[in-house]
Amino acid sequence: MNSALTEMFRQNRWANLQLLDLVAGVDEAVLSAGEPGTYGTVGDTLLHIVRSEEGYLHRLRTGLPRPRDSRDSEFPGIAALRERAAKSGDGLVEVAEGFQPGATYPIDWEDGKVYDVPAEILLVQAFNHATEHRSQIMTILSQHGVEVPELSGWTYFEETALR
């Protein structure tokens, strides 16, 4: 068991779901808001986080890129997105629990070449990617008067271990 890695992905899942629960109660105008320097609107960024995590998980489980689905470009609503985030979050926790170093995955890079990327890098990217975009979403929300939650490791500990 990889307890530290597993706990990181449990926190990642928790943080994603906390944020999705928060935005479930915001006005549609806020969900459609964006700010300079961020990925896009709140809704677009949430969809991007979930689609990316599904892609990382698919790659880690199968070694193959996730097939593109035309429905993935349409915002499915917060409830459906939350369900998908919970499922992909559970899957990443499962991968972390059984992680064995050494696997590599061929990935088409932006320079047109294919590189063998270590599984460790995919996991680092999955964790960092979600953290970065959650921060962008919280910036947008706070700029629109929404009180944002603290999603740090300390708050995760308080919410999950101290209760």
Residue among 142, 128, 147 nearest 35 (CA)? 142
Residue 24 CA to residue 31 CA, distance in Å, equals: 9
- Round to whole Å and give the CA distance between 156 and 115: 35
Residue 67 has what pLDDT? 78
pLDDT at 55: 93
Domain count, the chain: 1
pTM value is 0.93
Size (the chain), residues:
163
pLDDT (tens digit, 0 to 9) for every residue of the chain, 163 residues total?
579 999 999 999 999 999 999 999 999 999 999 999 999 999 999 999 999 999 999 999 998 888 776 556 788 899 999 999 999 999 999 999 999 888 999 888 889 899 999 999 999 999 999 999 999 999 999 999 999 999 999 999 999 988 6
Measured CA to CA, the distance from residue 8 to residue 139 in angstroms comes to 22
Whole-number pLDDT of residue 150 = 95
Distance CA 113, CA 79 (A): 38
What's the confidence (pLDDT) of residue 44? 95
- Please, are residues 98 and 3 in contact by the beta-carbon 8 Å criterion? no
pLDDT of residue 31: 92
The CATH number for 58's domain is 1.20.120.450
pLDDT at residue 120, as a whole number? 94
Domain limits for position 21: 3-160
